[in-house]
Structure 1
Amino acid sequence: MNTLRSFRPLASRLQPSTLPRTVRQFSATTTRSYEYLLLSEPRPGVGQVTLNRPKVLNALCTPLINELNTALDTLNSSPTIGAIVLTGSEKAFAAGADIKEMAPLTFSEAYTTSFIESWSRLTTQIKKPIIAAVSGHALGGGCELAMMCDILYCTESANFGQPEIKLGTIPGAGGSQRLTRALGKSKAMELILTGNSFSGVEAERWGLAARTFPTSEALVEGALATAERVAGYSRVAVQAAKEVVNKSQDLSLRDGVEYERRVFHGLFGSKDQKVGMKAFAEKKKPEWTHE
């Protein structure tokens, strides 16, 4: 795979036979056009958001983040979408924050700007699972954005890192916290203090990535296949699963188990729980109500 090919969104290079409807514009709830994103519905029940700021390797800026929030809100509220894939290009998922925008900010501006603050929406307000499909560079803010997603897939040659120490600062969108939870204190401390990058193979071996793929095409195919499978389940159950797993990052084991138990029992009596149990007993495919 030639990683230095011209920068194009991954979806634009996949054959229709491989990904049916991948270039169809998503139109379930909006006709809004985006300057820095591509929004599509490549598979039934799957929304794909592709970062598309090629001249600066998808560097993250306020307009892009605002568009990302709008696109995720669109998919989150759509009755036809059950899972989301977030990706970039073969060369870069996102090569960090736009330094030209970040450098002039004062302390208070950097702390309160929507550029940083609004990223929390990925884990706190978007109820549907998000799969990051990372190819090429995912550095600084790009690495943080990938870690905010619920499942992280990447190419073997993907390039992750938190190089902020080299700029006289530290990760500012949760990078130190998520990296430590994923890799443990010692490895996270080493990576953050040195600013060293690491490959997709290492990300999978250390537990940051769920799976690696040999090419960017295989990566997107794998992410979409997982998203389509997840979208085929009960939305109520899927969103509950996302909620309880995310809670495990915040609660003690005892409190987390109690929280899970309450959510588990809360699902009993729901329409989808009854549908699922009946279909299993009758060895039929369930027809979910999503209620």
Structure 2
Amino acid sequence: MALSQSSDLVLVDTPADGTRVISFNRVDKRNALSQSLISTFLKQLGEASIDSSVRVIIITGSKSCFSAGADIKEISELDAAEAGKRRYLEDLCLGIKAVKKPVLAAIEGIALGGGFEVALMCDMIFASRNSRLGLPETTIGVIPGAGGTQRLTNTLGKYKAMEMILLGRSITASEAHSNGLVSEIFDDGTVLDNTITIAEKLANSSEEALSLAKQAICAADDLGRNDDLERRLYYTSFGTADKREGISAFLEKRKPRWARASGQTAAEAPRVVRRTPSKTDFFLKELLVLPRTIGRAALGKEIARTGI
């Protein structure tokens, strides 16, 4: 073990040559992503990213919880204007995106909300048999705001993403694996050790080839996302009465009482200039819409089956 560091909020370890493990360590709060934890995490992630001896990074939590999501108490203190001014969670998104090395998520227990979004930002996800993954933000009056609506739709397709996000439903590791979201499932308590073994294999591969391959794959993934739109809508949700009620209900451990006739009007969608579509438009629509409808993993299976 070449390196072992710790802080109050993040643990850092190098259990094998070329492999850096960064662990969330706010166990009493189910590893909720407070701004202090995020800042500490990004500092360690940045150091690992520029350390030439580190070739693979693993992000993990505790034995029973990867992360339950953003810190609800901190969210309760933000309105739409303040969230937009701070660019809340943008530092987390950009920090992980900037890493050119392979980043693996090792999940034990739950990965919900912002915690699941951190996993979705990683290059591969490994999970325990009893882990659960989900984006329940709508149940407290907001929406996912760290890429969750975009990445989940890209991976699982529109309708599964709608089911999970609108209903606040989580899925099992088995469901996630069968849909191509989780790379491999391991017995409870063994995920990190098994992920380190996989990281060692990556660490012994061509560093330049892995970095270029990651860049190409991420570029393709970026084509199907609109992170700026999601983040604007996320900040907008912070200014609603439902957000205030949802957060209050969560903190007070009661069911929310949603307003049914607030008199407020929904935000208008941007105006779009219409034109007559060409044959090329229809072809491109098939290429872009089909993966987002059935999910890229399912599309790949269908192409392999038909031999296209």
Using the size of structure 2 for normalisation, the TM-score is: 0.70
Identify the match of residue 186 of structure 2 among 190, 196, 213. 213
Question: How many Å separate the matches in 2 of 1:192 and 1:34?
Answer: 34
Q: 1:38 aligns with which of 11, 14, 38?
A: 11
What one-letter code is carried by the residue in structure 1 that aligns with 2:145?
A: G
Are the aligned partners of 1:49 and 1:86 in contact in 2 as well (CA < 8 Å)?
yes
Report the AA paired with residue 100 of structure 1.
K
Residues 156-195 of structure 1: pairs in structure 2 closer than 5 A:
156-195=129-168
Return the alpha-carbon distance in structure 2 between the equivalents of residues 231 and 109 of structure 1: 42
2:194 & 2:186 partners in 1: Cα distance? 8
Residues paired across the two proteins, number: 226
Is 1:246 the counterpart of 2:229 in the alignment?
no
Task: For residue 82 of structure 1, report the CA deviation from its aligned partner.
Answer: 0.3
Match of 1:149 among 95, 100, 122: 122
Q: CA deviation at 1:224?
A: 0.5
Deviation, 1:74, is: 0.6
Structure 1: which 5+ runs fail to align?
1-20, 27-32, 255-291
What is the CA–CA distance in structure 2 between the aligned matches of 1:81 and 1:114, rounded to whole Å? 30
Does structure 2 conserve the Cα–Cα contact (< 8 Å) formed by 1:39 and 1:48? yes
Post-superposition Cα deviations, 1:114-141, rounded to whole Å, max 9, x if no partner, equal 6411122354311111100011110111
SS at match of 1:97: coil
* Residue 25 of structure 1: aligned partner: 4
Task: Tell me, yes or no, if the aligned pair for 2:120 and 2:151 is still in contact at 8 Å.
Answer: yes
Write out aligned runs for 1:6-155 (5 A): 21=1, 24-25=3-4, 34-113=7-86, 115-155=88-128
Show the 5 A alignment for 1:221-232: 221-232=193-204
- State how far apart, in whole Å, the 2-side matches of 1:240 and 1:108 are: 39
**Separation in 2 of the partners of 1:62 and 1:171?**
17
Equivalent position of 1:199 in the other structure: 172
AA partner of residue 53 (structure 1):
R
Pairing 1:242-281 to 2, within 5 Å after superposition: 242-251=214-223
Runs of 4+ in structure 1 off by over 2 angstroms are 111-115, 121-124, 250-254
Distance in 2 between residues matched to 1:185 and 1:221, nearest whole Å: 34
Greater alpha carbon shift after TM alignment, 232-241 vs 55-64: 232-241
Cα contact 2:135–2:170 (8 A) shared by 1? yes
- Secondary structure of 2:127's partner? strand
CA distance, structure 2, for counterparts of residue 78 and residue 36 of structure 1? 21
Once the two structures are TM-superposed, the CA of residue 91 in structure 1 deviates from its matched residue by 1.1
1:287 corresponds in structure 2 to: none
Per-residue CA distance 1:14-46 (angstroms, 9 max, x = gap): xxxxxxx28x415xxxxxx52201111000000
Q: Select the residue among 203, 207, 213 that pairs with 1:235.
A: 207
- Distance in 1 (CA, whole Å) between partners of 2:119 and 2:25 is 15
Distance 1:34-1:114 versus aligned 2 partners, 3 A rule = farther
- Report SS of the residue matched to 2:89: helix
* TM-superposed deviation, 1:234: 2.0
Q: Among all aligned residue pairs of Structure 1 and Structure 2, give the percentage whose two residues are the same amino acid.
A: 37
CA contact (8 A) 1:76 1:128 kept: yes
Separation of aligned partners in 2, 1:161 and 1:222: 23
Q: SS of the residue aligned with 2:221?
A: coil
Structure 2: 5+ residue stretches without partners: 225-282, 285-308
Return the offset for 1:156: 1.3
Contact preservation (8 Å) 2:97, 2:121: no
**Superimposed CA distance per residue, residues 161-219 of structure 1 (whole angstroms, 9 cap, x where no aligned partner):** 111111011101111101101100010001111001111111111111111112222x1
For residues 33 and 96 of structure 2, the distance between their equivalents in structure 1, rounded to whole angstroms, comes to 18
Change in 2 beyond 3 A, CA 1:112/1:129: farther
